[in-house]
Chain A
Amino acid sequence: DVVMTQSPLSLPVTLGQPASISCRSSQSLVYRDGDTYLNWFQQRPGQTPRRLIYKVSKRDSGVPDRFSGSGSGTDFTLKISRVEAEDFGVYYCMQGTHWPYTFGQGTKLEIK
């Protein structure tokens, strides 16, 4: 199975400051069709996960533009340009290129 490794696992951030989460895969996530199936999800406390980013850098409808995704191959990053109160929770990367699809361990974004 493809192992997804996130860092850091805990990220204390001050409101208004930027945040960055890394996600590395044990194999390239480029699929035979040329696309890279790397998604990012946000899970607020007590809530269902919500997809923010798909195919590395495409933002879902309704997701603020302070969220951005980048990367290629095995190395990916989720950035929040200025953290707001509603952003606190756990973030997961997920690969949908290789079966079985796999998630990272999660990064907890906390108030500093």
Chain B
Amino acid sequence: QVHLVQSGVEVKEPGASVKVSCKASGYTFKTYDIHWVRQAPGQSLEWMGWINGATGGTNHSHKFQGRVTFTRDTSATTAYMELSRLKSEDTAVYHCARSGGLDVWGQGTTVTVSS
């Protein structure tokens, strides 16, 4: 069975960085992209970007230009999302999901940005 398991709750101060992990199991990691989506409290979903599981190539929404980095460790079948220069508006639940179709989701990682 396919699973994506994410790292735990994070509390950060404004200006700091956060790195969220997404451990994949139950399928061949290199076969699929991993996408990242976030959801601020009471809001809709927002696409952040993705990383190609095989090549490591990435793409991201222009909204996060210069602040977001996607990486992966194929030996650990884990993808990572790092968001820098955090602002209070970045407070959200961050999800990883498999492929552009988002067919399988991680459980979400709550990131709170507060001084």
Q: Please list the residues of chain A having a beta carbon within 8 angstroms of any beta carbon in chain B.
A: 37, 39, 41, 48-51, 54, 60, 92, 94, 96, 99-106
Q: Tell me which residues across on chain B come within 8 A of A103, comparing CB atoms.
A: 44-47
- The residue among A39, A99, A104 with the most chain B CB atoms within 10 A of its own CB is A99
Q: Please list the residues of chain B having a beta carbon within 8 angstroms of any beta carbon in chain A.
A: 44-47, 49, 59, 61-63, 95, 100-103, 105-108
Per the bound structure, the CA–CA distance linking A54 and B97 in Å amounts to 14
Q: Tell me which residues across on chain A come within 8 A of B59, comparing CB atoms.
A: 99
- The residue among B95, B105, B106 with the most chain A CB atoms within 10 A of its own CB is B105
Verify B44–A106 contact, CB threshold 8 A.
yes
Verify A51–B101 contact, CB threshold 8 A.
yes
B6 to nearest A CB, angstroms? Answer: 10
Per the bound structure, the CA–CA distance linking A50 and B37 in Å amounts to 13
Are A96 and B101 CB-contacts (below 8 A) given A48-B106, A48-B107, A48-B108? Answer: yes
